[in-house]
Every structure is written in structure tokens, then in C-alpha cells.
Copies of this chain bind each other. A is one copy, B any other.
């Protein structure tokens, strides 16, 4: 996975860690856009992060797109396994308004 400052990969840390990363990402993003990506059980946490950020910290944060999909993972014991993924695109209108 390539690392972009505008993409935040959600793992097993507490949601607030990612909320902070999201707000930092938005402040650095020229476009005012940040993408949350998660797979498997972390999908629920990605939704938590978007909701906490939007409700508690940045009321102007908007969900501009949500997409789901499946990634094929190679198993150690051979064979493949499908893992669900989610991408949540968040934009802040205050950044747009500055332009």
C-alpha cells in the first residue's frame, strides 16, 4: 500500500488516534480532502472515526463518498481469502471556501 498524506489507514489503535491523524491530514491537505481506508474488522472503526470527527470536532466535515470492495489476500497456508474493504472520502468545506 502506498502511503499518501491524504490517506489514513485504520488499524487496531483506539479511534481517537485516527481522529487526530485525520485532523492533521486535513490541515496539511491542499484539497481539503482525506480518505479513510480499512479492511476486515477495522471497517467498523473507520466509520467510528468519521463519525467522531464529524460530530465532535469538525462539524463542517462532509462525507463525499463511501465505497466498499473486496481484496484478495494470499494465505500463508496457500490459497486466497477475500477481505472486505471500505473507503470513506471526507472533505472540509472550510478549506474549499478559502480558495
How many residues belonging to A are interface residues under a CB distance threshold of 8 Å?
22
The answer, among B41, B51, B66, B85, for a CB contact under 8 Å with A84, is: B51
Please name all residues of chain B whose beta carbon is closer than 8 Å to the beta carbon of A40 when the two chains form the complex.
Answer: 44
Give A53 to B44 CA distance when docked, in angstroms: 19
Q: In the complex, which residue of chain B has the Cβ closest to the Cβ of A56?
A: B82
Cα distance, A67 to B65, chains bound together (Å): 9
CB-contact partner of A47 in B48, B50, B52, B84, under 8 A: B84
A-B contact pairs, 18 of them (CB 8 A): A40-B44, A41-B41, A41-B44, A43-B43, A43-B44, A44-B44, A47-B68, A47-B84, A47-B85, A48-B84, A50-B68, A51-B68, A51-B70, A55-B82, A66-B66, A66-B67, A66-B68, A68-B88
